[in-house]
Amino acid sequence: MRVLLIAHTHIERDIPGYVSHAVASTEPWVFETHADELVEQGGRLCYLSWNRPNPATATNKGYVANIIEKGHFSVLEHASATFYIDGVTRNFTHELIRHRHLSFSEVSQRYVDAGAFEFVEHPGLAPVSDPVRYWMQEAVENAFDAYGTLVDDLNEQGYLRKEARQAARHVLPGGTETKILVTGNLRAWRDVLRKRLELDANGEPLADLEFYQVAREILIELKRIAPNAFQDFEVPA
């Protein structure tokens, strides 16, 4: 599994007039991260509250904390982050795309031969015994062999590569590796993480374990680029 943050919100601070508009000339202000800064700009614009009269919300951290506490999440939608994720399974991405407020681009099994990908073992299979593991690996190899045989047979019958692959892929396991590009605004990512990092009464993940592990890596990166927007989230051990 690999989770890479490849793009995120950047403010063009050199635009003439931006600093004088965002910061009251009578009160110095330290710029925060671009994403957190943009969230505050959205909120302050609504009320033209550039002078920061309230000490509790005078800092970016305090201001964003108040937004989170009040549930005024719309201003979090101005900032976004894009992740490239690979070494994960089709089963995982089938769950990921249920978060419809995110945007996705995933490798196509119709156009790309499955021979370019491997089987990704689910973390929940780690404790299986050696005999069962051997049987599992054999089953996976048989599935990929069947896929290749089906593609070859359909090609020989005149099917185009796309047509052959879209039919043959139905024998592939859900643990087949995939690669996906995912973009979401900070409000959307907060919703994903709130659901996928939730623990039960015994401290165990309620989400699928693979998704939980990916969500943890995403949170680490989001806390780096927008620590105040995710100040109420703790990275699991």
* 3-state SS assignment for residue 99: coil
- Tell me how far apart the alpha carbons of residues 220 and 150 are, in angstroms, rounded to a whole number: 42
- Tell me how far apart the alpha carbons of residues 133 and 129 are, in angstroms, rounded to a whole number: 6
Active site includes 100? no
Q: What are residue 104's DSSP bridge partners? A: 182
- Tell me how far apart the alpha carbons of residues 49 and 22 are, in angstroms, rounded to a whole number: 9
112 phi/psi in degrees, rounded to 5: -105, 130
User: 179 exposed, middle or buried (CB, 10 Å; 0-12, 13-18, 19+)?
Assistant: middle
- Tell me how far apart the alpha carbons of residues 9 and 116 are, in angstroms, rounded to a whole number: 33
Q: Which two tokens stand for residue 51?
A: 């002078």
Answer for the pair 2, 87: CB distance below 8 angstroms, yes or no: yes
Choose the catalytic residue: 165, 169, 187, 196.
Answer: 196
Catalytic residues: 196
